Amino acid sequence: ENKKKAGRTSKAAMFVLPHTNQNHRLWTLLLILLVSTAIPTESIALMNDYSLPLETLASSATSFASAHGVQVEKKHKDDPSRSYFECAPISLLPNAYPASAFTQAQTVAPAFNLLVDTISRRSDFLEETLRGVVTADPYTKKLLDLYNEIYVNEKTKSKFALSADRLGIHRSDYMLHKEGGDYVIKQVELNTIAASFACLSTRVASLHRHLVQRYSSSLDEFMSTNKNAVLARTTTASLKETDGVPENPAMSRLAYAMKVTYDRYQSRFRGDRDKPPLAILFVVQEGESNTVDQRLLEFQVWEDFSIPVVRRSLTQLSEMATVDEKTGALMIDNGRFEVALVYFRAGYAPTDYPDGDDGVEWQARALLETSRATKCPSLGYHLAGTKKVQQALARPGVLESMYSSDSSEDDIANMRKAFAGLYALGSDATEEDYTAVKDVLTNGQQAKYVLKPQREGGGYNFYGDKLLQKLQDNAKVQDDGSVELNPKLGEYILMERLFPPNQKAILLRSGRIEGSGDSISELGCFGTILVTSEGDSVLHNEYAGFLLRTKFSGVDEGGVASGFATLSSPFLCSE
């Protein structure tokens, strides 16, 4: 516990702000009391002068957040049928981020969207790439089996699924990593199913703009310190008028992508018919805590475009969803609604299918996939976002093989620049991959890597000594220097660990100050794409907003919903 809290202050700590003579004596007395209960931390050195109590700033932040829906849903311990809402985990202030790196992440978003679509139609590539994974991972095997059954196998494939358009709502996550003296973006992962927090992040950006503008004179020194940290400069750079939190269009752009998809379905299949009502289906988890993020998108879709959204779980859909045998129309609630778009906010983990391979949840997933409704994502898009595909694309020539013309050279170069070191642990492992394994087992360099399974949602990765133990149990370096890998490792990839710059942060959880200290951040860029069923026409493709997650340095995992990180915003900085 002490190790986890090292480097941060207690909840009672005051914020680092410029000195004022008028309040100096009061703050000195308070500091004496506070230090007696504070956890020792390097950040104390930054907290020697005060003009604004931290609690005042935190109160303003939590009030603004709650008033604007930055909340998560909780269940009462004594009565799980009753819910209440509390402030979502947030960083009190935005985190400094190089404007050039942010622009790079924005620019490459449409290219990654197109790449996902291309991969989704390359059944041979998916089959070959995931061969080692499916022998060790039943969940990925089930996804691939369904994909082949519905889209590939001549005897079983669904003509309605093949006729459906494809909508992608993706989020490519990046960490800053030092190269040649500057911090550049390196891709952590590409999320193609249930990419969350677009809407809460939109509201958090508004919160941070409000705080920075309202308390600008008190915050300049703090923000300048963080700016210098992320620009990797030894000389001090002051804030510029252009520095600040950008507008976050995520909530409105995701809603717009759904509207384009809805309109396309209407024109293709419905004409002038208005009955039964046409709706968008949100497939959600039972007991979901991130309901506000989902509801905000639902409300945006209705307020902007008057399109109804229906929320159902896979279990509910197993009882109330049908596909018309003649038309492929997906009907729910005993025919009350026809579904134009199926948007998955569930189904991304084995725990979403508690009844097993033949259970009602998988039956519902297959039923939805075989309809003519647009899926977000389709099974192909889902598989394209696996860690193993990410690792395979980083191999020399593989990314390039996805393109047939020279017109994509710039996109390829920009995507490849963002790749981190990625290594295979299956039957396709090469000498380069074996070298990385030996680096851990022989050289004790486990701190340089992360071991990742094919899972979404946070909390599944192996770091440090746990990574070392996992490889020791499943890999062996022979006397001649060769490496023997257990086939069970085929479901994992080994990734270069990224080391973003540390900067000061104050984090809030459950509406209260969790602590302050050194922190690191991870940027997510949303992208949306709509492609026709034949893949011959891209109807919509754009960058669609951002997410920034911040956690204390030394915390390995990075999920917000899984309790490791907080929602933040980038404070864009330039030289």
Rounded distance between C-alpha atoms, residue 474 and residue 470, angstroms = 6
Q: How far is the CA of 101 from the CAs of 182, 237, 505, 569, 574, in angstroms?
A: 10, 17, 20, 14, 10
Residue 443: active-site member:
no
Which pLDDT score, from 0 to 100, does residue 555 have?
Answer: 80
1 is in an annotated binding site: no
551 is in an annotated binding site: yes
421 is in an annotated binding site: no
Q: Who contacts 4 (Cβ-Cβ below 8 Å, separation ≥6)?
A: 552, 554, 555
Q: Where are the domains of the chain?
A: 421-496
* pLDDT tens profile 426-477: 999 999 999 999 999 999 999 999 999 998 766 789 999 999 999 999 999 9
Q: For every residue of 60-77, which 3-state class applies, written as one string?
A: HHHHHHHHCCCEEEEECC
Which pLDDT score, from 0 to 100, does residue 460 have?
Answer: 87
Which pLDDT score, from 0 to 100, does residue 239 have?
Answer: 85
Query: Contact at 8 Å (CB) between 531 and 260?
Result: no
Residue in 166, 171, 259, 345 annotated catalytic: 171
Higher pLDDT, 492 or 240: 492
Task: Check pLDDT > 90 for residue 38.
Answer: no
288 is in an annotated binding site: no
Query: Contact at 8 Å (CB) between 294 and 255?
Result: no
Question: pLDDT band at 311, cuts 50/70/90?
Answer: very high
387 is in an annotated binding site: yes
454 is in an annotated binding site: yes
* pLDDT tens profile 222-279: 999 999 999 876 566 788 888 999 999 999 999 999 999 999 999 999 887 878 999 9
Nearest CA-CA partner of 383 in 212, 220, 193: 193
* pLDDT tens profile 511-521: 999 999 999 99
Higher pLDDT, 184 or 182: 184
481 is in an annotated binding site: no
55 is in an annotated binding site: no
Which pLDDT score, from 0 to 100, does residue 30 have?
Answer: 34
86 is in an annotated binding site: no
Which pLDDT score, from 0 to 100, does residue 12 have?
Answer: 38
Range in 191-200, 372-381, 439-448, 528-537 with the lowest mean pLDDT: 528-537
Query: Contact at 8 Å (CB) between 289 and 562?
Result: no
Which pLDDT score, from 0 to 100, does residue 551 have?
Answer: 95
Round the average pLDDT of the chain to a whole number and report it: 89
Residue in 375, 452, 497, 504 annotated catalytic: 452
Nearest CA-CA partner of 505 in 58, 2, 56, 33: 58
Which pLDDT score, from 0 to 100, does residue 163 have?
Answer: 97
Residue in 196, 226, 228, 502 annotated catalytic: 196
Which pLDDT score, from 0 to 100, does residue 147 have?
Answer: 99
Residue in 43, 95, 132, 189 annotated catalytic: 189
Residue in 338, 361, 456, 491 annotated catalytic: 456
Token representation of residue 570: 């980038």
Task: Check pLDDT > 50 for residue 541.
Answer: yes
Nearest CA-CA partner of 16 in 516, 512, 514, 508: 516
Task: Check pLDDT > 70 for residue 7.
Answer: no
Which pLDDT score, from 0 to 100, does residue 212 have?
Answer: 94
Residue in 8, 166, 186, 549 annotated catalytic: 549
Give SS3 for 521.
Answer: strand
Task: Check pLDDT > 80 for residue 36.
Answer: no
Residue in 172, 191, 371, 569 annotated catalytic: 191
Residue 171: active-site member:
yes
Mean pLDDT of all residues in 284-304 = 97
* pLDDT tens profile 316-344: 999 999 999 999 999 999 999 999 999 99
Which pLDDT score, from 0 to 100, does residue 20 have?
Answer: 43
Which pLDDT score, from 0 to 100, does residue 45 have?
Answer: 30
266 is in an annotated binding site: no
484 is in an annotated binding site: no
75 is in an annotated binding site: no
Most confident of 180-189, 302-311, 453-462: 302-311
Q: Which CATH superfamily is domain 421-496 in?
A: Glutathione synthase lid domain (3.30.1490.50)
Which pLDDT score, from 0 to 100, does residue 241 have?
Answer: 82
259 is in an annotated binding site: no
554 is in an annotated binding site: no
- Would you mind telling me the total number of residues written for the chain in this entry? 575
How would you label 35-44 residue by residue, b for 16+ Cβ within 10 Å and e otherwise?
eeebeebebb
Rounded distance between C-alpha atoms, residue 437 and residue 483, angstroms = 8
* pLDDT tens profile 356-398: 999 999 999 999 999 999 999 999 999 999 999 999 999 999 9
Rounded distance between C-alpha atoms, residue 402 and residue 425, angstroms = 23
Which pLDDT score, from 0 to 100, does residue 53 have?
Answer: 82
461 is in an annotated binding site: yes
User: In one letter, which amino acid is 552?
Assistant: F
Strands 95-98 and 570-573: parallel
Q: How far is the CA of 504 from the CAs of 40, 45, 223, 550, 557, in angstroms?
A: 15, 12, 9, 11, 19
Residue 338: active-site member:
no
455 is in an annotated binding site: yes
**Reported pTM:** 0.90
Rounded distance between C-alpha atoms, residue 218 and residue 159, angstroms = 62
Residue in 8, 387, 388, 497 annotated catalytic: 387
Query: Contact at 8 Å (CB) between 487 and 135?
Result: yes
Task: Check pLDDT > 70 for residue 50.
Answer: no
Residue 409: active-site member:
no
Which pLDDT score, from 0 to 100, does residue 534 have?
Answer: 81
Higher pLDDT, 43 or 305: 305
Residue in 69, 359, 421, 457 annotated catalytic: 457
Which pLDDT score, from 0 to 100, does residue 21 have?
Answer: 43
Residue 196: active-site member:
yes
Question: pLDDT band at 4, cuts 50/70/90?
Answer: very low
φ and ψ at 415, to 5 degrees?
-65, -45
Residue 233: active-site member:
no
Query: Contact at 8 Å (CB) between 562 and 11?
Result: no
453 is in an annotated binding site: yes
Residue 575: active-site member:
no
What is the full DSSP assignment across 403-422? -SSGGGHHHHHHHHHH---E
